[in-house]
Amino acid sequence: MDLVLSLPELERNLFKPAMLIELGVIALGLIAAGLIAWRARRRYRPADENTAQEQSFAHSSVQRLIFPLSGAALLLATRGVLRLMGVNTHVIAAVCILLLALAGIRMAVFALRRAFGNPAWVAGFEQIFALTIWTVFALHVLGILPELIDWAESIKFSIGKQKLDLWVLLQGALWVMVTLLAAMWLAGLLENRIMASGQLDFSLRIVLSRLVKTLLVFLAVLIALPIVGIDLTALSVFGGALGVGLGFGMQKIAASYVSGFIILLDRSIRIGNIVSIAGDRGQVTRITTRYTVLRKLTGVEVIVPNETLVSSVLVNESYTDQRVRLAMPFQVAYGTDLDVALKVLVDATRQQPRVLAEPAAGGLVDGFGDNGINLELGFWIADPHEGTAVLRSEINLYVWREFQRLGIQIPFPQREVRMLGTTDIALQPGGMAASTAPPPDKTA
């Protein structure tokens, strides 16, 4: 099919009956395709909100294919009839190819959204990709593309012993982009399958998904470059320089990536664990190959490099068990009935639904202090990520009210001062103290 048309030829044939017939057929075909797509959108009504949420993505993607596919089908059918009538249909054929290219682009975008969710960059990629394809096709139809290819081939340079030109590099970039997108799409599908597997540990699923994505991207580059004739050995110098740069200038970053795989493989830290490191305590909400996100109980998120987690002492409060024991100190005055006081402490935990019945809460006599008897209340909770400040406050309020009701005193510091020697101190009017001791002997 010869689609090459020159600008002078288009100008000469623009107002001829054959060209006007083609343009009219194209306009009617596009209008009919738009009506078909509009009708299809109106006919789709989700049964309920859940169905809409689950199927809206697939239905919207399919509906975006209705316009280009129906338009191409109508124009191809009309083109066959016009050719039987002896009418030139070059423009109709060009529009059909553009519509099919649009359908292919939207199918590729659907695959990307299926793999990556619905990130913002996909919409921008669709517009840029469509504009690029249509521009190249327009240059081909107008006969300008071969001249641009010859110009790109005339720009030559060397990488090592390999001779390359601009056209080869452009082809290489295109193939690398295509293979990378295909690899990322396949990696996204495999990641969804791996993450949905309930038979594997969550950390192991993350490791496998990261390894699959890295391996597929690496293979995509290795496959794409030889396709356009680029010798991989020509990149050995660049690879060596990159290795030196990683070794000296990016030690911390490389160490964080390696540490990320170590954390995910040995499962010392998992999503949901309550950990403390370098004065920060919170719940692990995300683990990547470079950093870990720690959400503190105040709502602040701390990004910790994985290298810090591996090389520092870390307290994991829920490593093997989510249950955590909390201890609260109390002090009562000497002379207090300790059995009654300990019972009040234990009863305070029974008023709190977050406190576990097993292991049972218990009160202990911790020691004898300067001002009173030290008691300790110990109890277990299963949700430390919910925080403990409110729970401690409610227990303290209950203990305070019960101590007030039962007459149990909470001691405060008391000091007894003793004056040594024979000096007598008398109070003068006004509260001033005066010494009655004889004056010192100054004759010595």
pLDDT above 50: residue 131: yes
Region 145-173: mean pLDDT is 77
Between the alpha carbon of residue 2 and those of residues 5, 9, 18, 148, the distances in Å are 9, 14, 17, 19
Look at 444 and 5; give whichever has higher pLDDT.
Answer: 5
17 and 129 together in one domain: yes
96 and 195 together in one domain: no
280 and 392 together in one domain: no
End-of-domain residue from the set 143, 170, 185? 143
DSSP state of 15: T
pLDDT at 210: 76
Contact 402, 338 (CB under 8 A): no
Considering 51-55, 106-110, 167-171, 342-346, the range whose residues carry the highest mean pLDDT is 342-346
Contact 292, 304 (CB under 8 A): yes
The residues facing 357 across adjacent strands are none
Residue 177 sits in a domain whose CATH number is 1.10.287
CA distance 319 to 360: 21
Please report the sign of the dihedral spanned by the C-alpha atoms of residue 85, residue 91, residue 97, residue 101.
negative
Considering 24-33, 96-105, 158-167, 332-341, the range whose residues carry the highest mean pLDDT is 332-341
pLDDT above 60: residue 136: yes
Place of tokens 């000497």: 334
Contact 135, 101 (CB under 8 A): no
Residue 312 sits in a domain whose CATH number is 2.30.30.60
CA distance 52 to 60: 11
Q: What is the pLDDT of residues 303-344, one digit of tens each?
A: 888 888 888 888 887 777 778 888 999 999 998 999 999 999
Region 342-350: mean pLDDT is 92
The verdict on residue 442 lying in a domain is no
Domain count, the chain: 4
Residue 369 sits in a domain whose CATH number is 3.30.70.100
The verdict on residue 433 lying in a domain is no
CA distance 110 to 107: 5
End-of-domain residue from the set 110, 143, 176? 143
pLDDT above 80: residue 232: no
Q: What is the pLDDT of residues 391-405, one digit of tens each?
A: 999 999 999 999 999
394 and 330 together in one domain: yes
242 and 270 together in one domain: no
125 and 23 together in one domain: yes
Contact 129, 116 (CB under 8 A): no
The verdict on residue 176 lying in a domain is yes
The verdict on residue 232 lying in a domain is yes
pLDDT above 60: residue 67: yes
Number of Cβ within 10 Å of residue 148's Cβ equals 13
348 and 401 together in one domain: yes
The verdict on residue 254 lying in a domain is no
Look at 159 and 416; give whichever has higher pLDDT.
Answer: 416
The verdict on residue 113 lying in a domain is yes
The verdict on residue 283 lying in a domain is yes
The verdict on residue 42 lying in a domain is yes
242 and 345 together in one domain: no
200 and 79 together in one domain: no
pLDDT at 51: 46
120 and 18 together in one domain: yes
* Host domain of residue 381: 324-406
Look at 192 and 77; give whichever has higher pLDDT.
Answer: 77
Look at 47 and 322; give whichever has higher pLDDT.
Answer: 322
Confidence of residue 374 (pLDDT cuts 50, 70, 90): very high
DSSP state of 346: H
Region 136-141: mean pLDDT is 74
105 and 135 together in one domain: yes
pLDDT at 330: 94
Encoded tokens for 63: 């509906």
End-of-domain residue from the set 114, 143, 172? 143
114 and 10 together in one domain: yes
